[in-house]
Structure 1
Amino acid sequence: MKSGATLGLKESKKPREEKTDPRSVFSSGCGSEVVTSDHDFTLSEVVIRTKFNANNIEYSLRAFPLGGFVAFPDNDPDSDIPADDENLLKNRPIFDRVIVISAGVIANVVFAYLIIFVQVLSVGLPVQEFSPGVLVPEVGPSSAAARAGLRPGDVILSVDGYELPKSLFSVPQIVDIIKRSPKKNVSLKVERGGEDLVIGVTPEESGDGTGRIGVQLSPNVKITKAKPKNLVEAISFSGKEFWGLTSNVLEGLKQTFLNFSQSASKVSGPVAIIAVGAEVARSSSEGLYQFAAALNLNLAVINLLPLPALDGGSLALILVEAARGGRKLPQEVEQRIMSSGIMVVLLLGIFLLVRDTLNLDFVRELLIMDFPLDTCRSMTTSSKMLYGGGM
């Protein structure tokens, strides 16, 4: 069972008369044991000896605060605990096992809420105040929009007479209109410096037959801060923001799976997540709260997927056991399912690690440093026009 905590826990074996069992687990958050000829030790024991026993459970804080885990003696071949001991996890009632296996997911959800709660108390909650129209932060050079006279900072109020509302969805609405109008004149009502202008632009036809005018678009929104006046209001603010963020995460994952052929390339591993986190920190330290909360919610949902090697896979096996009237699947079958799942997750992790590393800016610069300068500039300009709400 995995969680976002950095505290590693391992259920100890029964106490011995002479000393506590010295066996421990090596982990950078979670991992395998490191075994020497006569003694098993952890990097934590070498770098920081932070562990203690309480109620027959060994708690340890590891040298690398990445992830966390809970290890049980059930599958430990060297365990001296009888296989039929009622306190072993595998021998506990189904409901008990469901609660234990779900604890990592629950921890992620609770931690996400606590992050938002700390944000509300410390820096306040960002509140979006929408204004009519869509903002144009960037206009591509030599684009259809630039030739028509559109400038960065303009606010598009209407398209062919259709008034754009105060909404986050104004951007996809105008993008859809432009895409459906290749080589057709489109009338844009634009606000510039307090004055309203009418600009006619003819979208160019893209390779896929859709129209594009070469601009970046963003919602016309002003971000303000709302700070709670008391603890009750802070809890209320945090709850609303938590449910809103949860809805966005679930909707995003839903769209990812429904349109997996188009969104598969956007699936990110640890390297890309760290890169995004660093970018968020550079742009706004306050954005790290939302990033960390969203990351924990994503981990919670993904960990619930009924895939081997994930908590959802273990829960699925328990549900199968319940459906079979309490009869477990043969141990060999369970081991094969889990082994295959671990292999798939491992291969996927390696793939994402390599791909995301190759996509890092400084790595890409090293790879393309031998390209002609004009080619690099052309690639950079083209890629910028494809990001975000550009069209």
Structure 2
Amino acid sequence: MKTILAFIFMFGLLVFIHEFGHMIFAKRAGMLVREFAIGFGPKIFSFKKNETVYTIRLLPMGGYVRVAGEDPEIIELKPGHHIGLEFNHEGKVNKIIVNHKEKHPNARVIEVEHVDLDHRLVIEGYELDDHEEKHVFSVDEKAFFIMDENETQIAPYDRQFASKTVGQRAMQLFAGPMMNFLLAIVIFFVLGFTQGVPVEQAKIDQIQPGSPAEQAGFKNGDEIIKINGTTIESFTEFQIIVRENPETELAMTVQRDDEQIELSVTPNAVYIEEIDEEFGQIGVYQAFHKSAVGTVKYGFTKTYEITTLILTNLGKLITGQYSIDMLSGPVGIYDATDQVVKSGISNFFMWTAILSINLGIINLVPLPALDGGRLLFIAIEAVRGKPIDPQKEGLVHFIGFAMLMLLMIIVTWNDIQRLFL
């Protein structure tokens, strides 16, 4: 139960922050945000505030912000349709009843001849018993369609995604990944404030019981200054040498208080099946210290380091150095979260920050249906001076989304085989 709650919290936080970025910049640009959703599939819970419906959906596979104009409008009025009109105190149409007009006895029923709800905001038509005189009705910019007794706000062109500048649209798309990077920075800042920031030197703070380091005689506070005669400048440098030398004896020079001592240690070999790689480990933890300036710096530098690492691994995946089997879906992430939760709250939030960076990077990959793919289309528009045909772009994104769902199924199946079969 502890892992389930932690996973729900983590998933909800990452998706909420990402979609919040999309939503807030859409609203700042004047776009009509129809829905803010966590998850996909059937609604579990929903409520409406101002113009936006907030929903939680069944399938925990992401989320979305539905902005007017990004998809074809659900309701379209055509000549010959019979609709009901209700008016506000200014005499403008504020409700357009598409069906079940009998439930609105005060509505004025007309036959549609022409509708322009994008620019002029008018409906032209005739009374059902009088086709001689055409009436032109002004429509309020915040009028609603009423279909099956459900309200859908109209979206004049200036409230639609396509009406905004290239910069506004690009920022709205980039804002989701940007918020994931900002979340990681904040988490690392909080961790640095609460537990301190890692010292740059290869200084040891804790030693695992029964580990090679304990058996070799290491103590808390020791600083490794040389390995096999090579000077060690940082804990990262020390880690790299240990990782690259499993089951290999290493001679280490250690600064302990005011003296230098020589210790020999043989790292254990740890095998990672997902990437078919073995690395060394001696069972020590890096030392930390409290620093206000260091805490701020840590938030940015740690985010940068992890971003670089993820991009490096992504490059290896693209070039074939890593196989698709190393990817993890929701099942694999849940299993990893279970292990992290058992290791403590600090490691859980560190894991959350890493996943947030990963989510930001993946969404910026220029693939159809992802934020990066849509940004690519906007970049092409900026270069050529006009947008690509919306239908063609929509088809590309639809195919891309289908391929991503297929990839998700494959990755999830691999997770299940790895963990349960």
Q: TM-score range by the shorter chain?
A: 0.5 to 0.7
Q: How many residues align?
A: 302
Equivalences for residues 91-240 of structure 1 within 5 A: 91-120=163-192, 123-128=194-199, 130-131=201-202, 152-154=215-217, 160-162=228-230, 164-173=232-241, 176=244, 188=251, 216-217=281-282, 221-224=285-288, 226=290, 233=292, 236-240=293-297
Are the structure 2 counterparts of residues 268 and 243 from structure 1 closer, same or farther at C-alpha, using a change threshold of 3 Å? same
Return the alpha-carbon distance in structure 2 between the equivalents of residues 187 and 112 of structure 1: 36
CA deviation string 1:53-95 (max 9, x = no partner):
31xx214142669544210232144245845622211222212
Residues 202 and 225 in structure 2, CA contact (< 8 A), matched pair in contact too: no
Q: CA deviation at 1:116?
A: 3.3
SS in 2 for 1:251: helix
SS in 2 for 1:62: strand
CA deviation string 1:130-154 (max 9, x = no partner):
4479x996999xxxxx9xxx98445
Are the structure 2 counterparts of residues 292 and 225 from structure 1 closer, same or farther at C-alpha, using a change threshold of 3 Å? farther
Are the structure 2 counterparts of residues 153 and 343 from structure 1 closer, same or farther at C-alpha, using a change threshold of 3 Å? farther
* Candidates 359, 362, 374, aligned match of 2:418: 359
Return the alpha-carbon distance in structure 2 between the equivalents of residues 274 and 30 of structure 1: 16
Equivalences for residues 51-70 of structure 1 within 5 A: 51-54=47-50, 57-62=51-56, 67-70=62-65
Aligned to 2:16: 5
Which one scores higher on RCO, CA 8 angstroms, separation ≥ 6? Answer: 1
Aligned to 1:78: 74
Return the alpha-carbon distance in structure 2 between the equivalents of residues 352 and 310 of structure 1: 18
Residues 246 and 280 in structure 2, CA contact (< 8 A), matched pair in contact too: no
SS in 1 for 2:404: helix
Q: CA deviation at 1:303?
A: 0.9
Q: CA deviation at 1:165?
A: 4.9
Q: CA deviation at 1:5?
A: 0.6
More deviation in 75-84 or 336-345?
A: 75-84
1:267 lines up with 2:327 in the alignment: yes
Residues 36 and 53 in structure 2, CA contact (< 8 A), matched pair in contact too: no
SS in 1 for 2:16: coil
Return the alpha-carbon distance in structure 2 between the equivalents of residues 309 and 282 of structure 1: 36
**Structure (1 or 2) with the larger CA radius of gyration:** 2
Q: TM-score, normalised by structure 1?
A: 0.62
Amino acid corresponding to residue 112 of structure 1 in structure 2: A
* Candidates 276, 297, 309, aligned match of 1:252: 309
Are the structure 2 counterparts of residues 314 and 271 from structure 1 closer, same or farther at C-alpha, using a change threshold of 3 Å? same
CA deviation string 1:102-122 (max 9, x = no partner):
22123222322333344455x
Are the structure 2 counterparts of residues 356 and 247 from structure 1 closer, same or farther at C-alpha, using a change threshold of 3 Å? same
Amino acid corresponding to residue 411 of structure 2 in structure 1: L
Residues 216 and 263 in structure 2, CA contact (< 8 A), matched pair in contact too: no
Amino acid corresponding to residue 322 of structure 1 in structure 2: A
Return the alpha-carbon distance in structure 1 between the equivalents of residues 314 and 400 of structure 2: 19
Q: CA deviation at 1:174?
A: 5.2
Q: CA RMSD in A?
A: 4.5
Amino acid corresponding to residue 163 of structure 2 in structure 1: N
CA deviation string 1:10-32 (max 9, x = no partner):
999xxxxxxxxxxx8796x2325
Amino acid corresponding to residue 223 of structure 1 in structure 2: A
Return the alpha-carbon distance in structure 2 between the equivalents of residues 114 and 158 of structure 1: 35
**Unpaired segments ≥5 residues, structure 2:** 1-12, 28-33, 77-115, 120-156, 219-223, 267-277
Amino acid corresponding to residue 91 of structure 1 in structure 2: S
